[in-house]
């Protein structure tokens, strides 16, 4: 079993190949958001280094969102195109779920937070079912104002670990509101990683959650700022 997975949902462009037990090769770069230029060469180099051909991959996977609208389209389109050409199954992994696999096995609640601008974050709350790779969802993915999210977490009165690109932006307010209830993922596990997307994809594969290339689509959660402004003008 070989899974090739990508995550282009944020500032990091990441690609990896996994088998049932290991991340065989993973590339990540957090330097300018030029995913359209970097992703395909990155995937090509992965396969060359592992002496694999595209057809040797059993499943193609991508982070489907939420996140950068343009970045999501790049990653999902790349996986769709290759899977269609090779007639391979695909697995779409929600970005927040992929992030949760960065801290696989933790006994804490897990709260990925992705910057959605204007003091909003894309977020959800998960935990792992003891002794398994199954994620239990406590709060579904949606766009929250940061204060709304933290007020809800305070009420849970449980220890929780935060990760994602909005952590550094909101770390002070998180500490202020949650105190010792909150902890933060280490820097090397803070942002999106394709290897974690691959682990989530493999967990979904074991549950029979494969898709056709036709079915995998970006999950935007809410309309883009341009779409919101357009609707506002139309309603004036």
Percent of the chain with pLDDT over 90: 88
- What is the pLDDT, as a whole number, of residue 230? 46
DSSP for 78-96 reads HHHHHHHHHT--EEEEEHH
CA 109 to chain centre: 17
Pair of tokens at residue 44: 């090509």
Q: What is the pLDDT of residues 1-10, one digit of tens each?
A: 999 999 999 9
Q: What is the pLDDT of residues 189-235, one digit of tens each?
A: 999 999 999 999 999 999 999 999 999 999 998 765 555 554 555 66
Task: Say whether pLDDT at 120 is over 70.
Answer: yes
- What is the pLDDT, as a whole number, of residue 103? 97
- What is the pLDDT, as a whole number, of residue 131? 78
Pair of tokens at residue 169: 């932006």
Q: What's the pTM value of the predicted model, to 2 decimals?
A: 0.93
Pair of tokens at residue 55: 């057809």
Task: Using CA atoms of 144, 149, 151, 156 in order, give the dihedral in degrees to the nearest 10.
Answer: 140
Contacts of 168 (CB under 8 A, 6+ apart): none
């Amino acid at each position: 079993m070989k899974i090739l997975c990508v995550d282009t949902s944020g500032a990091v462009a990441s690609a990896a190949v996994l088998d049932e037990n290991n991340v065989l090769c993973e590339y990540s770069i957090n330097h300018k958001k030029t995913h359209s230029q970097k992703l395909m060469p990155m995937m090509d180099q992965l396969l060359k280094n592992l002496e694999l051909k595209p057809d040797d991959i059993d499943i193609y996977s991508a982070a489907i969102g939420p996140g950068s609208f343009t970045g999501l389209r790049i990653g999902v389109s790349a996986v769709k195109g290759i899977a269609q050409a090779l007639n391979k199954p695909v697995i779409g992994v929600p970005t927040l779920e992929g992030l949760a696999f960065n801290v696989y096995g933790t006994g804490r609640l897990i709260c990925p937070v992705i910057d959605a601008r204007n003091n909003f974050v894309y977020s959800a709350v998960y935990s792992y079912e003891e002794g398994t790779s199954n994620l239990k969802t406590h709060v579904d993915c949606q766009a929250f104002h940061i204060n709304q999210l933290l007020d809800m977490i305070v009420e849970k009165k449980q220890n929780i670990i935060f990760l994602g690109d909005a952590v550094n932006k909101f770390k002070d307010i998180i500490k202020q509101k949650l105190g010792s209830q909150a902890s933060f993922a280490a820097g090397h596990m803070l942002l999106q990683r394709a290897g974690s997307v691959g682990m989530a994809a493999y967990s979904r594969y074991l549950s029979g959650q494969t898709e056709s290339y036709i079915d995998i689509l970006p999950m935007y959660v809410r309309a883009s700022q341009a779409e919101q402004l357009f609707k506002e003008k139309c309603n004036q």
